[in-house]
Chain A
Amino acid sequence: MAGIIGRSHRHRADIVPEGASDAREEPAAVRWTIIAIAIAFLSVFLVLPLVTVFQEALAHGVIPYFRALAEDDALAAIRLTLLVAAISVSLNLVFGIIAAWAIAKFDFFGKSLLITLIDLPFSVSPVISGLVFVLLFGAQGYFGAFLQAHDIQIIFALPGLVLATVLVTFPFIARELIPLMQEQGTQDEEAAISLGASGLQTFFRVTLPNVKWALLYGVLLCNARAMGEFGAVSVVSGHIRGETNTMPLYVEILYNEYQFVAAFAVASLLALLALVTLIAKALLERRAAAE
């Protein structure tokens, strides 16, 4: 990005005589109008909601804020969210790497169909991503009787939350790795193999260092979505306080009970997560661009 802008400025200095206007630039009035519209739009729609979260959370000062976060149910929700995200992100990390290896390093029939199928969860409503597991594992579901007979609880329990979250975040890591690994080709790996490295050695010493930033980037986005997922987990959770309430679900319950300070206090933790994610993302992008 800096490159293009730098280039256009050099153009101006090199070619355009003092006082004349560059053929590639709009009149200043147009330029400032466009910038003003962009800033106003971003501020109203994106910045103000974020500010609102913290403003409402701290509306009655710091003490009610921390008291709301120290509630047992709040702590349980935080623990559950961390647990679900840790399991889901790990599963999708392993899958993402394996899928990217198969798709990027080999040619086979039906590859583009496979990529489309991996992308599919992106365009499925989160509500549907939850519903399908109720149909499979709920009391009335296809495996419901079997699960009941063996006393296994999936819906309204941790496994259901994890399944729904894994489905929703399924494409995130694979999607970051596949295009990059395709672009990098197979020469490095072929060289390593021909020099006697094993497959795993090749992966850990050659492929992984090549894609580490994209991998981290994918993990970051996957984690943000996993911790913040609402629709899918709402359907499978059953909203049992202290047991199956993740942070977003707990926010909803508090909000519907008109406990606004508490709702926004828990929401502010999720908003902080979003901010940390954005900052880490910006740093990663700068890192990757520098290399």
Chain B
Amino acid sequence: MHADATAQVSRSLFRRPPSVIPGFGITLGLTLTWLALIVLIPLSSLFLKTATLSPDAFWAIVTSRRALNAFKLSFGLSLVAAMINLVFGAIVAWALVRYDFRGRRLFDAIVDIPFALPTAVAGIALTTLFAESGWLGSVLALVGVKVSFTPLGILVALVFIGLPFVVRTVQPVLLDLDIELEEVAATLGASRLQTLTRVMLPMIAPALLTGFALAFARAVGEYGSVIFIAGNLPNVSEIAPLLIVIRLEEFKYADATALAVVMLVASFLILLAINRLQRWSEQRTGRL
């Protein structure tokens, strides 16, 4: 009886329009199995491990001064970096889509460097570049700005890795924008600035926000490019992912896991927000 009901539920859950294409059962089964083995079971081990901590012990770990400072630094700087990327990413996307200039194709390809360049390589390169003996660092030192081995260095690394997310999200939406809308706005007497802010900005706003959220999500978890340039002083320039690694190396697995759970829950929430934004963006622009 019970088995019967289960079978019925599972049939109705997985009911689909009749299809002549074969392989549904096996491909879905393999997908779910592989997903469980590689992603879901490993990630759930975090929660399993954390469950061995008492709530008080968990709370003490994640609200310790060092942890709070690391979270503040990671989330705060990621937010600032994402905002910088929002502004400059929009400018770069606009220039690449709307204007023709020499080297446009080259600069278009260059946008993807942070996707392709390994983070450790980016880390040591940025550190050298912004160190006081480096090309940019020596110039900045003249005006008294120190970048490498300070929180400002972390910001530079986070801006580096986040930029393509904004550009690549906004670019296709800008390309697909209906030219006639702009022309109608102009015909009806809108100034160029009015057309941009009242007609076009609302159209690309969801894409901008999606790119912002993607850049933010990536920055929060970033490790490789940051640890070289950060200086890694506890409470000052120590990011949350680094604190997790430090706890691991001290064999304090429970501590590392508790911190990781906080980060993971935060990324879940960001991911949910991104999905919402993307759906909104699709509705707004009619793109799929």
Interface size class of chain A, counting residues whose CB lies under 8 Å from the partner chain:
35 or more
Residues of the B chain whose Cβ atoms lie less than 8 Å from the Cβ of A264:
124
Q: A116 CA to B268 CA in the complex, in Å?
A: 10
- Point out the residue from A49, A190, A199, A267 that lies within 8 Å of B120, measured CB to CB: A267
Q: Does A224 contact B (CB under 8 A)?
A: yes
With A142-B45, A248-B121, A270-B121 in contact, is A45–B163 under 8 Å at CB?
Answer: yes
Interface of A, helix, strand, loop or mixed by DSSP: helix
Contact B125 A53 (CB under 8 A): yes
Task: Looking at the assembled complex, report how far the CB atom of B230 sits from the nearest CB atom of chain A, in whole angstroms.
Answer: 14
Contact A127 B45 (CB under 8 A): no
Contact A248 B118 (CB under 8 A): yes
Q: A199 CA to B128 CA in the complex, in Å?
A: 55
For window 155-188 of B, CB contacts with A under 8 Å fall at: 156, 159-160, 163, 175, 179, 182-183, 186-187
Task: Looking at the assembled complex, report how far the CB atom of A96 sits from the nearest CB atom of chain B, in whole angstroms.
Answer: 10
Contact A24 B186 (CB under 8 A): yes
Contact A45 B160 (CB under 8 A): yes
Q: Which residues of A contact B (CB under 8 A)?
A: 1, 4-5, 7-9, 11, 23-27, 31, 34-35, 37-39, 41-42, 44-50, 52-53, 56, 95, 98-99, 101-103, 105-110, 114, 116-128, 131-136, 138, 140, 142, 163, 166-167, 170, 183, 186, 189-190, 193-194, 198-199, 202, 221, 224, 227-231, 234-235, 247-249, 251-252, 255, 260, 263-264, 267, 270-271, 273-275, 277-279, 281-282
Contact B95 A34 (CB under 8 A): yes
With A34-B94, A170-B39 in contact, is A251–B179 under 8 Å at CB?
Answer: no
Chain A residue nearest in CB terms to B122: A49
For window 65-117 of B, CB contacts with A under 8 Å fall at: 88, 91-92, 94-101, 103, 105, 107-117
Q: Which one of A8, A228, A231 has the highest number of Cβ atoms from chain B below 10 Å of its Cβ?
A: A231
For window 211-250 of B, CB contacts with A under 8 Å fall at: 217-218, 220-224, 228, 241-242, 244-245, 248
Contact A105 B19 (CB under 8 A): yes
Residues of the B chain whose Cβ atoms lie less than 8 Å from the Cβ of A9:
100
Task: Looking at the assembled complex, report how far the CB atom of B128 sits from the nearest CB atom of chain A, in whole angstroms.
Answer: 5
Chain A residue nearest in CB terms to B288: A183
Contact A49 B160 (CB under 8 A): yes
Q: Which one of A95, A132, A260 has the highest number of Cβ atoms from chain B below 10 Å of its Cβ?
A: A132
Residues of the B chain whose Cβ atoms lie less than 8 Å from the Cβ of A134:
248, 253
Task: Looking at the assembled complex, report how far the CB atom of A1 sits from the nearest CB atom of chain B, in whole angstroms.
Answer: 6
With A1-B97, A133-B42 in contact, is A106–B19 under 8 Å at CB?
Answer: yes
Q: A37 CA to B228 CA in the complex, in Å?
A: 28
Residues of the A chain whose Cβ atoms lie less than 8 Å from the Cβ of B217:
122-123
Residues of the B chain whose Cβ atoms lie less than 8 Å from the Cβ of A224:
115-116
Contact B42 A49 (CB under 8 A): no
Chain A residue nearest in CB terms to B34: A95
Chain B residue nearest in CB terms to A99: B31
* Chain A binder among B22-30, B55-63, B201-209: B22-30
Q: Does B51 contact A (CB under 8 A)?
A: no
Chain A residue nearest in CB terms to B32: A114
Q: A5 CA to B154 CA in the complex, in Å?
A: 37
With A7-B179, A131-B46 in contact, is A26–B192 under 8 Å at CB?
Answer: yes
Q: A220 CA to B271 CA in the complex, in Å?
A: 24
Contact B121 A106 (CB under 8 A): no
Instruction: Report, nearest first, the 3 A-B pairs whose CB atoms are least far apart.
Output: A228-B118, A125-B221, A23-B186
With A48-B136, A126-B224, A131-B248 in contact, is A221–B125 under 8 Å at CB?
Answer: no
Of the A-B pairs whose beta carbons lie under 8 Å apart in the complex, a sample of 13, sorted by A's number, is: A1-B97, A27-B192, A31-B99, A38-B107, A47-B110, A49-B113, A95-B34, A101-B23, A120-B271, A125-B263, A125-B264, A230-B119, A230-B120
Chain A residue nearest in CB terms to B184: A23
Contact A132 B99 (CB under 8 A): no
Chain A residue nearest in CB terms to B245: A127
Contact A227 B186 (CB under 8 A): no
Q: A53 CA to B108 CA in the complex, in Å?
A: 21
Contact B28 A108 (CB under 8 A): yes
Q: A6 CA to B38 CA in the complex, in Å?
A: 47
Q: Does B283 contact A (CB under 8 A)?
A: no
Residues of the A chain whose Cβ atoms lie less than 8 Å from the Cβ of B135:
48, 52
Residues of the A chain whose Cβ atoms lie less than 8 Å from the Cβ of B32:
114
Task: Looking at the assembled complex, report how far the CB atom of B179 sits from the nearest CB atom of chain A, in whole angstroms.
Answer: 7
Given contacts A49-B117, A118-B35, A136-B42, 8 further A-B contacts (CB under 8 A): A39-B107, A95-B31, A120-B39, A125-B222, A126-B241, A127-B260, A247-B118, A278-B109
